[in-house]
Chain A
Amino acid sequence: MPEDVNQNLGPEEEELISDRRYHRTFIASVLAVSIVAIIPLLIMTGTTYRQYRTVFDAEMTRPMVRFTTNGKQSLESFLSEHISALTMVIRERSFEELQENRTLERVLMNLKQAFGGFIDLGVIDEDGIQLSYVGPYELEGVNYEESIWFHEVIMRGVHVSDVFMGHRNFPHFVIAIRHDLGAGHQFVLRATIDTDVLNRLVQSLVIQPHGDAFIINRDSILQTPSQFNGDILERSLLPGLPHSTQTELVELEAQNGESLIVACAPIERSSFRLVLLRPSSALPTDWLNLRRELGIFLVISIILILGVIIGGSVWMIRRMQEADRLRALCYHKMEYTNKMESLGRMSAGVAHEINNPLSIITEKAGLMKDLLQLSDKMPPREKLVELVNSVIKSADRCGGITHRLLGFAKHMQVKHENVDLDLLLREVLGFLEKEAEYRSIYVDFQFPELQPTVSSDRGQLQQVFLNILNNAFAAVDDGGHIVIGVTHDGANMVAVSIADDGIGVPEENLARIFDPFFTTKKGAGTGLGLSITYGIIEKLGGNITVESTVGEGTCFTVTLPKGHTVD
C-alpha cells in the first residue's frame, strides 16, 4: 500500500478527527467534571463556614448578653434601692414630721450616708406646692402643679424622671413617691439623684477594646455620656435601637459604616434603656485564622481540582484523538484494501477477458504471415482484408475492456456527482459478464421507465455494487438468476435491489452480515467486503438492508439520495 494512503483521509474521517470537535468535547468534559467536583466542595466549605460563624457569633455575643443583663439588674437594683429607701422614709415618718425641714434634713443625711447619690429632698402637697425642702437650692414654696412628673407620680404612685440639667445645670434625675393619707388626701416625697453613680455603673460594663455602653431614654436621648455616640442629653447617633421588653441583640451599621453588635435592655420602672455595643470586626483571632485557613483550603482545592481535571481531560482527549485517528486510518486502510482487492479481482477477470481478442489478433496476424511465407502464391486480396478487419475488431474489443478498467480506476477519488444508475450498474456488471456467460448466470435488469439518477460518488458506488454482485455470484449455482431492480423510494430516494436465487444466509448470520471480519467463506474472504459496503453507503447518505431465506436466495437493497432525473 502506498505511504500517502495514510494521509489521504476522506472528509468524514477528517471531521471525525477535527480539532474543533475535540475542543468542544474538552470544554464539555472540563465543565461537567468541574461542576460535579467543585460544587460539593463549595457547599461543604460554605456549610463549615456558616457553622463556625454561628459558633463564634454565639461565643462573641454571649458575654454581651450576659454583661447587658447584669448591667440591667444592677441598674434596676439601684433604682429599687432608692425607691425602697424613699418608701421607707414616707412610711416611717408622718406627713407632719416631714414638713419640718430639720427632720427632712436628718433624713437626707441618713439617705446620703446609706445609699449615696441623693442631692436634695422635698415634700409636695397634693396641690403641687413644695411644703418643705432640704438641699442646695431655695425651692420651698415652688408650685409643681403643672409639671408632668407631678401628674405622673399622682397617677402612678412612683415616678423616675429622665435625666435633665434643670436649674442646677448639672445632669440629674428625680425619684418621686406618692403617699396616701386617707380620706382622699395624699402628698409626694421627691428626691433628686446625681447621675454620677449611674455613669460609673454603666462605664464598668464597657467591653474593651472599642466597646461602648450608655443609657438612653425612650426618645433615644443619651442619659449618660457615650464614648463614641454623643454626649449626655444629645440624641444617640445610633439609629434603630430596639424597644423590646427583654434584652435583645441586633447588628447595626454605625454612621461611619462600621458594623456593630448592639445589646439593648429596658430598665424597669423607668424610661431608661441600657445599651452595650462592640464592633463586629473585633472578632476573635481564632475565628479570623479559621476563616483564612478555610479560604486558603478552598482556593488550593479548587486549583488542584481544576489542574487535575484539565490535565486529565487533555490526556483523555489526546488518547481519544489518537484512537479516533487510528480508527479512521484503519477504516481507510480497510477500505483501500477492499478496493485493491476488488481491483485485483477485476484485473484478473480483465486479463482473462483481454486474452481472447489478443489471441485472435496473434493468430490472425500469424495467419497473414503464414499465408505470405508458407504459400507459393500471393494470398487473395479479400482474404487479407478479412484478416485485417478481424485484427482491428479484436483490437477494438481490447480497447473496450481497457477503457472500462480505466473508467473504474479513475473514480478512486471521492467526488459527488449525478450518477446514472443504469449505466453504472451495467458497467459494473461488465466486469462479471464473462463469468456470467461461462457459468450461465442469468442477470435481469428491471428499471423504471423514468430512469433515476443518484447524487453520489461514482467510484464508491462501483465498489459497493461490485461487492454486492460478487457476493451474489458467489451465492448462486451455475445457471442461477440475479435480478437487479431499481425503484423510486419516496420523493428523495432511489432503491436498488440485487436479488439472487442462491444458497441464502441463515438467520443467525444475517444479523452479523455487516460486521467487520465476519465471513462464512472460510479462508477465502476477509470479511471486510460488506462491512466496507455498509460504511460507504452510510457515508453517501444512504442505507443498506438485507433479506434472506436459506435455500431461496438473498436480496440486498441499497437506498441512495436521488439526483436530478435523466431526461
Chain B
Amino acid sequence: MEPVRVLIVDDEEELASALEERLNLRGFQARGVTTGAEALTHLEETPCDVVLLDVKMPGLGGLEVIKKIKNHYPNLEVILLTGHGSAQDAERGMELGAYDYLMKPVKIEVLSQLLVSAAAQNEGEEP
C-alpha cells in the first residue's frame, strides 16, 4: 500500500517540521512548508493526498489557500488546523470544502486517523 502523501502548511516552522517527522515515522509521506504560497507551488510540483492547513497565517491566510486548492484540485482533501477562538474561521473553512478541522495542539493518533480516512475518501483519484 502506497504511503499517504501529506502536505503540512503552518507558519510555525518548528511545528511543521515536528509534525512532518512524526507523520513520517508513522508511515506517512509528509512534507512541511511555512507559507500558503509555498504550499501552492509545492502542489503544482508534487502530487499530494491530504493538505494539513493552518488557518491563521500571515500573508496568504488558510482560507485563501483552501479556496485556491479547491479551485485547482477539487478532489484534494484539506484538514484545517485552528487555534482556540478561531472556530468561526474553521466553520468558514468547512463551507469552503475542508474535510474536517482540528484544534491545536493535536493528538497525533487522532491526526493520523483523520489523515488516513481523508486519503481514503479520495483513493484512486489523483490531484
Contact = CB atoms under 8 A, between A and B. Distances in A.
Query: Do A and B form a real pair?
Result: yes
Interface residue range, chain B: 20 to 34
Interface in A339-397: 348-349, 351-353, 355-356, 358-364, 366-367, 370-371, 374-375, 387, 390, 394
A438 interface: yes
B15 A367 contact: no
Contact of B83 (A352, A360, A387, A394): A352
Given A356-B104, A359-B104, A438 B18 contact: no
A545 interface: no
Contact of B105 (A351, A352, A358): A358
Interface string B1-26: 00000000000101100110110011
B58 interface: yes
A375 B12 contact: no
Nearest to A478: B61
B59 A367 contact: no
A358 B18 contact: no
B96 interface: no
- From DSSP, what is the main secondary structure of chain B's interface residues? loop
Interface string A111-131: 000000000000000000000
A355 B14 contact: no
A351 B85 contact: yes
B56 interface: yes
Contacts of A353: 83
Interface string B39-59: 000000000000000001111
Contact of A367 (B12, B21, B104): B21
B59 A351 contact: no
B117 interface: no
Contacts of A360: 12, 14-15, 18
Given A366-B22, A437-B58, A351 B84 contact: yes
Interface in B61-117: 61, 83-86, 104-106, 108
Contact of B61 (A367, A387, A438): A438
A389 to B, nearest CB: 10
Nearest to A353: B83
B25 A364 contact: no
Interface of A: 348-349, 351-353, 355-356, 358-364, 366-367, 370-371, 374-375, 387, 390, 394, 434, 437-438, 440
